[in-house]
Structure 1
């Protein structure tokens, strides 16, 4: 424990001033001759005490280490004794109340109380040695009682100062911890913002790929078809141009719907969206059928949107990569989960390495990420279609409500 000189800094100077005033007053008004040497020594002792206070505060402020504080306490005790011997008024005995006060601050409660008891014993011993039968003289008994009261007040004030210092230290510790916590929270908030930004970036990337990517791919396919059949089959070419125009219009509509969804939630119908998608994808070279069982009412929009985006990706893969001539789309709404199955008779994913389930194509990866974020599952089988030797079967299962709160389509 260290002595805090700033705990109650005004006590020693006030006490020194009071003792100086009392000693000089007694020397002036006393009947005996004024002893200049004794009075000068008395004043010099008080000056040295003030000098010790100044040195301690300048050298060790705001707290004095234990060893220097103990040395200073011993020096003060010696000066207190010298001043008390040179003081004829007896007022200087009040200086000894600073001994338990300072000891309490330096060494703690037990040492402070022991020093206070030691001061009382010292005073009683001095009375006993130099004042015969002092205990029957009112002035000495009164002085002893007042001295004991002063010691009690000094120890109490030291206890208050220590508690205040400890409370201030705890408060500073709490404030430092709060500041550290605030810094950590700021770092966590920044990290969360970065993760949220990355998550939103991935979501937007999936949305662009699944929506605009699908329709732009369909537009490209239809325009290629229109170019190929322009001379041989004008009717098929015109139909392809019409389908390309529809895909472009549908892409624009979905962009508008996505923007509107950011402002207010509009109901999304997976069955209607699938029917619209299947109707415009099929032609004389590709047959697409849709089978729906159950009711989509009560399903979360994020789950339904995930199934729709998966259907778009699967149909695009079957048409463009698999060169399928028949695609069957089945949507089944159960009590707790919905399942979408897209089966085709094309060449499967093995025809295009970039589209394989184990590949790194963004379409397959985005499909899995979107569904798994909702607590669903994606299964892809290249050769399990019972109606064809080749082909692919994409099965997607999602819960009625997303397992991840706050998920969006």
Structure 2
């Protein structure tokens, strides 16, 4: 799914409001059927394009989705032309920015810039045909210059959205893979230590290490799929801590909370357990309470802890993730380490 899925509906809504007002008040002549129908079709088309782009990125449908996206982009551009000519206010020209913006996520920056230049060339030709002497009109020249600036801003905006999405995936991979590789390392060390003394314990540790490795692969698939399937925090925490023998207590009603909040708590538990295994002692306790107003997660170990100034990428990424859902992170070290995460129920979805 492409970032900023609200952009197309927002722009279409603004164009509908301005163009509708212009048509009803007599400030401009609106051709209502192609105008309204085209805007509705653009919103629906953007939703379809988002799903197709996701299928192509996951590689689940071969080469087909790429060519479907090419056709979809052409249809989108055609609809924008229809809406622009049916709109009496001139506001609909802003919708042309959706074309290079959408192309960016399907085909990259170079193609998006090329499409933006092509759209500007089309507008020049359209002005030349429909508005003789437009080059002497300050309004039309300003419109073209502002559109050029808009193309640049659309590409920059797409870059920023893509960077944010890459950072999110990087945090997912770090939190998930990092935790499971740490678990595999600890379990294999345990197997080596008990190989001569207790073969049964060593075999069990190896089997748990295999399970952690399989869970790591599943985490990668889950991150790439953007976690589309229903998520259950309690079940996920039990699977997460099972191989390490950590104590888990889940109370409250997690169904009150959005999936992104539950995922943020899960990643926080992963990071806390990973740090506990690395720096802490053998006893790790995880508690989660999903209350009516806020959810509270605590990961506690009895190890030696670590200095606050040694906070690494994992905890920094965790703070960013929790801040995105309106929560807070607190880490205290003393006779052990305690990671506390609090997230309000009405966090942004």
- Relative to structure 1, is the Cα distance of residues 259 and 203 closer, same or farther in structure 2, using a 3 angstrom cutoff? closer
**Matches of 2:321 and 2:161 in 1, distance apart?**
16
Q: What is residue 380 of structure 1 aligned with on the other side? A: 331
Shift in Å at residue 255 of structure 1? 2.5
Among 356, 368, 371, the alignment partner of 2:319 is: 368
Shift of 1:259: 3.7
Q: Deviation of residue 170 (structure 1)?
A: 9.5
Contact 2:261 2:347 in 1 (8 A): yes
Check conservation: 2:134, 2:140, Cα contact below 8 A. Answer: no
Please give the residue correspondences for 1:146-225 in structure 2 after superposition, counting only pairs within 5 Å.
172-225=137-190
Aligned to 2:77: none
| Residues 300 and 338 in structure 2, CA contact (< 8 A), matched pair in contact too | yes
1:334-376 Cα shifts (integer Å, max 9, x gaps): 11211101111111123xxxxx4x3351111111111011111
Structure 1 unmatched ranges of 5 or more: 1-166, 283-287, 351-355, 384-389
Once residues 371 and 319 of structure 1 are traced to their aligned partners in structure 2, the CA distance between those partners, rounded to angstroms, is 22
**Cα distance, 1:235 vs structure 2:** 2.3
Matches within 5 A, 1:292-311: 292-311=250-269
Query: SS of 1:311's equivalent?
Result: helix
Q: Closer, same or farther in 2 for the Cα pair 1:250/1:169, shift >3 Å?
A: closer
Residues in 2 aligned to 1:299 and 1:366: alpha-carbon distance in whole angstroms? 22
Q: For 2:254 and 2:244, how far apart are their aligned partners in 1?
A: 23
TM-score using structure 2 length: 0.59
**SS of match in other structure, 1:297:** helix
Structure 2: 5+ residue runs without aligned partners? 1-131
Which whole-Å CA distance do the structure 1 matches of 2:329 and 2:259 have between them? 18
Runs of 4+ residues deviating >4 angstroms: 167-171
The structure-2 alpha-carbon separation of the partners of 1:260 and 1:205, relative to structure 1 and needing over 3 Å to count, comes to closer
Q: What displacement does 1:168 show?
A: 6.1
* 8 A Cα contact 2:184 2:210, kept in partner: yes
Output the CA distance in 2 between the equivalents of 1:297 and 1:171: 62
Q: Bigger CA drift: 184-193 or 232-241?
A: 232-241
RMSD of Structure 2 on Structure 1 (CA): 2.0
In the alignment, structure 1 residue 251 sits paired with structure 2 residue 202: no
Q: Distance in 2 between matches of 1:234 and 1:346?
A: 28
**Residue 360 to residue 181, structure 1, CA distance change in 2 (3 Å):** farther
The CA deviation at 1:169 is 7.7
User: In the alignment, what sits opposite 1:291?
Assistant: 249
* 1:275 and 2:232 are equivalent in the alignment: no
User: What is the total number of aligned residue pairs between the two structures?
Assistant: 218
Secondary structure, aligned partner of 1:291 = strand
Question: SS of the residue aligned with 1:382?
Answer: strand
- Whole-Å Cα distance in 2 between the matches of residues 401 and 309 of structure 1? 19
